[in-house]
Structures are given as structure tokens and as C-alpha cells.
């Protein structure tokens, strides 16, 4: 499934949701789309953009974000563009850089930004200073 990420009326990125890895979560996301929310910065959680959702779902494809740090340092994974869902707070998150501090709770790895990842760092810096930009998430044709 592909989702359009529109920020303040500008198409910014395309997110691919891994339906085979997170079938239940993907179904909940599909049911909720389209929806609007506001962009926040994960002030205590590194280079992370956060979007509040109305989605209620359990963990699937669980991992601890700090596990990515070692893989990123070893050059085994690209962190920028990783998309996760954090059930306790009903948030979808997008990593935009390599600052990944330890997180005591797991997240669900749900996808990756497949277009527009190069724009995320500038958006992250702006969101750090001025949170609250309006985001529209829409289902794109497969």
C-alpha cells in the first residue's frame, strides 16, 4: 500500500506500508485513510517526525529503535525514511536522520518513505522550531 504525505498543501513524500509484514496494522491504516493530522517533532526521541492518528492496533513487526543504531553505524541499514507505529500513543513516526536514542518500549516497523526522503531533514528542522504543520495522509493507487 502506498500513502501520500502532503504537508501544508504540498505533496512531499510517498510512504510504502508493508502489508505482508503488518497485515492487521495495514488494514487499520487503510480504514482510517484519508485523514489529516499535525506534525510534531520527537524532542526526546531523536530525528523523528510524529503524527497523531485515530488508529488503535497492537504491535506487529516489533523492534526497538536503538537496534537500528548499530545496524546504521555498520552501514547495514538506512535509517532515514523508516516509518513506525507506536500503539500506546497512536502515532505514526518517520525517522529523518541518524540520531536514535534508546527507547524503552518497542515500536512496529510498518514501512519506509520511498519517494521524497531527501526532504525530511529540512522538514524535521522546521518542525523542531515550529511544530503543528498540517499533514494529509491519503491512499494512493497501487
Average pLDDT over residues 105-125: 93
Is the domain defined by 2-119 classed in CATH 2.40.100.20?
yes
Q: Where are the domains of the chain?
A: 2-119
How does residue 138 score in pLDDT terms, banded at 50, 70 and 90? Answer: very high
Task: Please tell me the pTM assigned to this model.
Answer: 0.91
Which one has a higher pLDDT value, 75 or 29? 29
Q: What does the pLDDT look like over 67-112, one tens digit per residue? A: 777 777 777 777 789 999 998 899 999 999 877 767 778 899 999 9
Q: What does the pLDDT look like over 37-46, one tens digit per residue? A: 999 998 766 7
Average pLDDT over residues 21-43: 95
Average pLDDT over residues 58-63: 91
Contacts of residue 107, defined as CB under 8 A and 6 or more positions apart, other chains included, come to: 59, 62, 63, 64, 65, 84, 85, 86, 93
Amino acid at each position: 500500500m502506498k500513502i501520500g504525505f502532503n504537508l501544508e498543501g504540498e505533496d512531499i513524500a510517498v510512504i510504502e506500508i508493508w502489508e505482508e509484514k503488518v497485515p492487521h496494522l495495514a488494514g487499520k491504516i487503510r480504514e482510517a485513510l484519508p485523514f489529516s493530522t499535525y506534525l510534531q517533532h520527537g524532542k526526546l526521541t531523536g530525528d523523528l517526525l510524529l503524527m497523531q492518528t485515530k488508529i488503535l492496533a497492537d504491535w506487529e513487526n516489533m523492534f526497538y529503535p536503538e537496534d537500528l543504531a548499530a545496524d546504521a553505524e555498520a552501514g547495514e541499514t538506512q535509517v532515514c525514511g523508516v516509518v513506525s507505529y507506536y500503539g500506546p500513543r497512536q502515532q505514526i513516526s518517520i525517522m529523518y536522520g541518524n540520531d536514535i536514542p534508546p527507547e524503552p518500549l518497542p515500536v512496529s516497523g510498518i514501512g519506509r518513505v520511498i519517494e521524497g526522503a531527501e526532504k525530511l531533514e529540512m522538514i524535521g528542522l522546521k518542525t523542531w522550531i515550529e511544530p503543528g504543520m498540517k499533514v494529509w495522509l491519503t491512499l494512493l493507487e497501487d
